[in-house]
């Protein structure tokens, strides 16, 4: 089943295929020319046999203004060990090579350490010298971005590294991630919201709290410019507080009228909601909540 966790890294590559060049250079030392045109192409790896092979994403890199690719890249997200992939990955790569007739690479994004270690193992086809060792983006590789300034220069790469667990979810790394998200959001609010939600979805509760604090307060060098974006975040937290309050009232067996429920859910003042939440543990009726 395809999930948001699976699709998020691939969505970044579709949105900003130049991140593939950054990965090849920074993560794996591949020599890519400076002047290139980069494009996402069909994910279909078709052949005459009835079985259809479809990769998560395919990127072609063309030198300068040439329409012909000089590098082809298959990008895959892998969340669990799947022995069948060790058979299909070579098919993806050789089929792409037959189509573009240039060097081709396989990038596999693996956020789980055990899966990353499994994916890094060479795939031996049997023919002498015909061995495929995937380029794996995930735990165990060297950091791709090490400062907030680098994050601002390569924000999509930073977000991808966060989703792939290349960077630990500690305060220093989350500040780097925040700088990338702020840079993206200040260029395009919609994309900033999407990528922030992608990152939030993979973080622990503790890491979410750290990142949310950065989003709310900013840092010395980076901050979210969009007030609607910040207001949406605040409204989301307030809605969570309101839902928690209703759960407490329900758990205590107190009757909540439609009017009271509407008032609670409409409140966007977090300090008021927290005061109601504290009061909810001792009141005898919902009416006492608002006194």
Confidence (pLDDT) at 42: 62
Let me know whether 32 and 157 are in one domain.
no
Average pLDDT over residues 52-71: 85
> Higher model confidence: residue 182 or residue 1?
182
Let me know whether 181 and 220 are in one domain.
yes
Confidence (pLDDT) at 193: 84
User: Which sign, positive or negative, has the C-alpha torsion 176, 182, 183, 188?
Assistant: positive
**Distance of alpha carbon 123 from alpha carbon 130, whole angstroms:** 9
Confidence (pLDDT) at 53: 53
Let me know whether 162 and 259 are in one domain.
no
Confidence (pLDDT) at 43: 56
Let me know whether 118 and 215 are in one domain.
no
Let me know whether 38 and 83 are in one domain.
yes
Are 80 and 9 in contact by the 8 Å Cβ rule? The answer is: no
Let me know whether 17 and 134 are in one domain.
yes
Q: Is the pTM of this model over 0.95?
A: no
Q: Domain range spanning residue 199?
A: 143-225
Written as six digits, the tokens of 72 are: 């082809």
**Distance of alpha carbon 275 from alpha carbon 105, whole angstroms:** 57
**Distance of alpha carbon 91 from alpha carbon 60, whole angstroms:** 17
Confidence (pLDDT) at 132: 97
- 105 alpha carbon, distance to own chain's centre: 22
Let me know whether 92 and 168 are in one domain.
no
- At which of 97, 118, 142 does a domain end? 142
Distant-in-sequence contacts of 167-174, Cβ < 8 A, 24+ apart: 167/143, 169/203, 169/204, 169/207, 171/210, 174/207, 174/210, 174/211, 174/214
User: Confidence band (pLDDT; 50, 70, 90) for 44?
Assistant: low
Confidence (pLDDT) at 49: 41
Strand partners, 124: 131
Let me know whether 112 and 44 are in one domain.
yes
Confidence (pLDDT) at 241: 80
Confidence (pLDDT) at 51: 43
CA distances from 5 to 9, 14, 68, 83, 277 (A): 8, 15, 33, 20, 33
Mark residue 211 as left, alpha or beta (left: phi above 0; alpha: psi -120 to 50; beta: remaining): alpha
Query: Torsions phi, psi of 112, nearest 5?
Result: -95, 130
> Higher model confidence: residue 240 or residue 61?
61
Model pLDDT for residues 110-146, shown as the tens digit of each residue? 999 999 999 999 999 999 999 999 999 999 999 999 9
User: If we measure between CA atoms, which residue out of 216, 146, 140, 200 comes closest to residue 176?
Assistant: 146
Model pLDDT for residues 72-81, shown as the tens digit of each residue? 999 999 999 9
- At which of 174, 207, 225 does a domain end? 225
- Per the prediction, the chain carries an average pLDDT of 86
Let me know whether 163 and 132 are in one domain.
no
**Distance of alpha carbon 120 from alpha carbon 122, whole angstroms:** 6
- At which of 225, 246, 271 does a domain end? 225
* Confidence check: pLDDT of 228 > 50: no
Strand partners, 61: 38, 71
CA distances from 260 to 178, 256, 267 (A): 38, 6, 11
**Distance of alpha carbon 259 from alpha carbon 236, whole angstroms:** 21
Let me know whether 243 and 205 are in one domain.
no
Model pLDDT for residues 164-211, shown as the tens digit of each residue? 999 888 999 999 999 999 999 889 888 988 898 899 889 888 998 888
Let me know whether 98 and 166 are in one domain.
no
Let me know whether 215 and 238 are in one domain.
no
The Cβ of residue 205 has, within 10 Å, a number of other Cβ atoms equal to: 6
User: Alpha helix locations (H) across 134-279?
Assistant: 148-153, 155-163, 171-187, 189-202, 205-217, 227-251, 258-266, 270-279
Q: Into how many domains does the chain fold?
A: 3
């Amino acid at each position: 089943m395809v999930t948001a966790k699976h699709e998020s890294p691939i969505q970044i590559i579709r949105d900003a295929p130049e991140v593939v060049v950054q990965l090849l250079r920074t993560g794996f030392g591949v020599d890519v020319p400076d002047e290139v045109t980069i494009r996402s192409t069909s994910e279909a790896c078709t052949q005459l046999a009835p079985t259809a092979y479809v990769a998560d994403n395919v990127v072609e890199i063309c030198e300068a203004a040439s329409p012909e690719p000089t590098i082809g890249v298959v990008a895959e997200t892998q969340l669990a060990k799947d022995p069948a992939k060790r058979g299909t990955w070579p098919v993806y790569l050789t089929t792409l090579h037959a189509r573009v007739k240039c060097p081709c690479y396989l990038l596999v994004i693996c956020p789980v350490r055990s899966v990353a270690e499994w994916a890094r193992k060479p795939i031996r086809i049997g023919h002498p010298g015909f061995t495929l060792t995937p380029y794996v983006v995930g735990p165990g590789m060297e950091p791709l971005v090490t400062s907030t300034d680098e994050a601002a220069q390569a924000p999509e790469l930073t977000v991808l590294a966060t989703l792939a667990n290349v960077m630990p979810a500690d305060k220093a790394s989350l500040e780097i991630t925040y700088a990338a998200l702020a840079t993206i959001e200040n260029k395009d609010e919609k994309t900033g919201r999407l990528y922030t939600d992608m990152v939030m979805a993979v973080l622990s509760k503790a890491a979410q709290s750290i990142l949310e604090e950065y989003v709310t307060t900013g840092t010395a060098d980076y901050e979210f410019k969009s007030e609607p974006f910040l207001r949406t975040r605040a409204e989301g937290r307030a809605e969570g507080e309101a839902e928690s309050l209703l759960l407490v009232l329900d758990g205590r067996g107190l009757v909540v009228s439609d009017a009271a429920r509407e008032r609670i859910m409409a409140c966007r003042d977090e300090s008021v909601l927290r005061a109601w939440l504290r009061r909810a543990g001792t009141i005898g009726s919902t009416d006492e909540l608002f006194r």
